[in-house]
Structure 1
Amino acid sequence: MFNHILSAGQKVLNGGLITRNEALDIAQATGADIYILAALASKIREQYTGNQIDLCSIINGKSGNCSQDCKFCSQSIFHTCAIDTYPLLDDEKIIEYAHSVEKAGAHRFAIVTSGRGITEHDNDFISIIRIIRRLKAETNLRLCVSLGELTEESAFMLKEAGVSRYHHNLETSEEFFPHIVTTHTYQDRIKTIQCARSGGLEICSGGIIGLGESMEQRINLAFALRDLNVDSVPVNMLHAVPGTPLEHEPPLSPLEIIKTIALFRFILPTTSIRSAGGREKLLRDMQSVGLMAGLNGMMVGNYLTTNGRSISEDICLLNDMGYSL
């Protein structure tokens, strides 16, 4: 296995792309070989994306009452979860929060809303455009949004207002997707990504690991993201929420997560890959090892319906590890 990992790593460092079969091969790594895989992934990250780490923060701009049945999500109307439910927050609340995370050290800020999607005719969309314009004028943050399905015209309007990147996860591999969501299709998600790109926006798209999928299916997700040429890949780790169909799903081990992150870096050598929801709960004391497995981005602060840790703690960790901020 050691030689297989070295061979795959050298191929990527020499400018090549590994094949699906090569990824499946090195995914068999166990024990100390996982750390070798992670170390080479870190070397790949250093060569192709440098030592700068990108910090993004989000606000749950509109929470709950979602018509979709994603099995992992506490905001679905199909599930019985104890979360706060509210319409789109007022402008000042979102803008004040954006200023606070910028002051704390975040580079990017995203407004996230629940629901299947949005159009340029929705009142919420008009409000978000107004908020984005103010944030563009008042901050140095790179602005992102995650609003579900959208039209190409909506994407153009977001771009014109100051949005740089649109977030829309594939969530998992195409073959596993129907086990997780039935109210829309995998192709619906790809169509949204294509509309956002046609509107001039960069694409942030990744998924959640630990939904019950196999390692092969995670690898298939990574190759789908490579085929779509996305700009940023968030790796979420399922922190099962009571009241969702996945509430009893066993959590992934830290080593399984580290191996998955490293494999994503081997498959996506030049792409921004960031840790996202679940890292504090699932990686625990091994968060630094997760970073060393090839990440060059991190979501900081709170998540949609769960709390993260303080941005200052994460910045301290990154400084200790020698990253540039």
Structure 2
Amino acid sequence: MFDRILSAGQKVLNGGSITRSEALDLAQATGADIYILAALASKIREQYTGNRIDLCSIINGKSGNCSEDCKFCSQSAFSTCAIDTYPLLDEGKILQYVHDMERAGTHRFAIVTSGRGVTEHDPDFIAILRIIRRLSNETNLKLCVSLGELTEEAALMLREAGVSRYHHNLETSEDFFPHIVTTHTYQDRIRTVKSARAAGMEICSGGIIGLGERMEQRIDLAYALHDLNIDSVPINILDAIPGTPLGDEPPLLPPEIIKTFALFRFILPHAEIRSAGGREKLLRDMQSIGLLAGLNGMMVGNYLTTNGREIRDDLNLANDMGYSL
């Protein structure tokens, strides 16, 4: 395995791509070989994306009562989680939070809303456009949104308002997707990604690992993201929340998470790949090793319905690991 890891790493460093069968072979790494794989992933990251780390933060702009049945999500109307539900937050509250995050050191910011999607006529959408325009003038942040499915017209309006990147996860592989969501399809998600791209926005799209999928299906997700030329790939780790259908799903162990991060870097050498929800709880004291497995981004601050950690702790981590902010 050691020689095969080195050979695959050299192939990518020389400008080549590994095949799915090669990725599946690397996925067999165990023990110390996982950390050799991670080290090569870090070398690939360093060569193709440098040492700068991209930090993003989010706000749950509208929470809960979502019509979709995503089994991992506490905001789904199908879950029984005790979470705060509310309509779109007041403009002033969103603006204040964004300014606080910029002062804390984040590079980009995303407004996230629950629900299947938006159209250009939605009152909430009009309000978000107004907020984005203000933020474009009042901050130096790169601005993103995650609003679900989009019409082509809505996508263009977001771009014109100042949104640089649209977030819409594929979540998992196409063949496993129906086990996780039934109220919309994988192709619905692909269409949204393509609509946002056609409007001139960069795309942030990744998924969640630990849903019960096989490693082969994680690899399939990575190749799907590769084929769509995704700019930023967030990798969430399932933090099983009681009250969701996946509330009893066993947690992934840190070596499995680190191996997955590394494989994504081998498959997506040029992308921003960032750790997202679940890293604090699931990686625990191994967050630094996770970062060295080829990542060049982190979601910092709080998540949608769960807490992260202090941003200064993540800034210290990135500095200690030799990343440029």
Query: TM-score, normalization: structure 1?
Result: 1.00
Cα offset, 1:205, TM superposition: 0.2
- Cα offset for 1:161? 0.4
Aligned counterpart, 1:316: 316
Aligned 1:17-28 pairs, distance under 5 A: 17-28=17-28
Residue of structure 1 in register with 2:270 after alignment: 270
Pairs aligned (count): 325
Aligned to 1:157: 157
The one-letter amino acid paired with 2:101 is: V
- What is the match of residue 110 of structure 2? 110
| Residue 152 of structure 1: how far off its partner (Å) | 1.3
Letter in 1 for 2:315: I
Match of 1:171, SS state, is coil
Look up the SS of the partner of 1:163 in the other structure: coil
Task: Name the counterpart of 2:36.
Answer: 36
Determine helix, strand or coil for the equivalent of 1:67.
coil
The alignment's C-alpha RMSD in Å is: 0.3
Matched, 1:139 2:164: no
**Once the two structures are superposed, what CA deviation does each residue of 1:32-84 show, in whole Å capped at 9, x if it has no partner?**
00000000000000000000000000000000000000000000011100100
Q: State the one-letter code of the partner of 2:107.
A: H
Instruction: Read off the aligned partner of 1:263 and give its amino acid letter.
Output: L
Structure 2: runs of 5 or more not aligned: none
Partners of 1:154 and 1:195 lie apart in 2 by 9
Cα distance in 2 between the residues matched to 1:53 and 1:220: 26
User: Which runs of 5 or more residues in structure 1 are unaligned?
Assistant: none
SS state at 2:164 partner: strand
Tell me if 1:90 matches 2:90.
yes
Using structure 2 for the length normalisation, give the TM-score. Answer: 1.00
Tell me which stretches of 4 or more aligned residues in structure 1 moved more than 4 Å: none
Alpha-carbon distance in 2 for matches of 1:256, 1:115: 31
Report SS of the residue matched to 2:213. Answer: coil
Secondary structure of the structure 2 residue equivalent to 1:143: strand
Distance 1:57 1:41 in 2: 25
2:203 maps to which residue?
203
Q: Distance in 2 between matches of 1:83 and 1:9?
A: 44
Q: Distance in 2 between matches of 1:311 and 1:291?
A: 15
Structure-2 residue corresponding to 1:248: 248
Partner of 2:72, secondary structure, is coil
The residue type equivalent to 2:134 in the other structure is R
- Amino-acid identity (%): 81
Q: Return the letter of the residue paired with 2:269.
A: P
1:226 shift after superposition = 0.2
- Which AA in structure 1 matches 2:253? S
Compute the displacement of 1:151 (Å): 1.0
Q: Distance in 2 between matches of 1:234 and 1:177?
A: 17
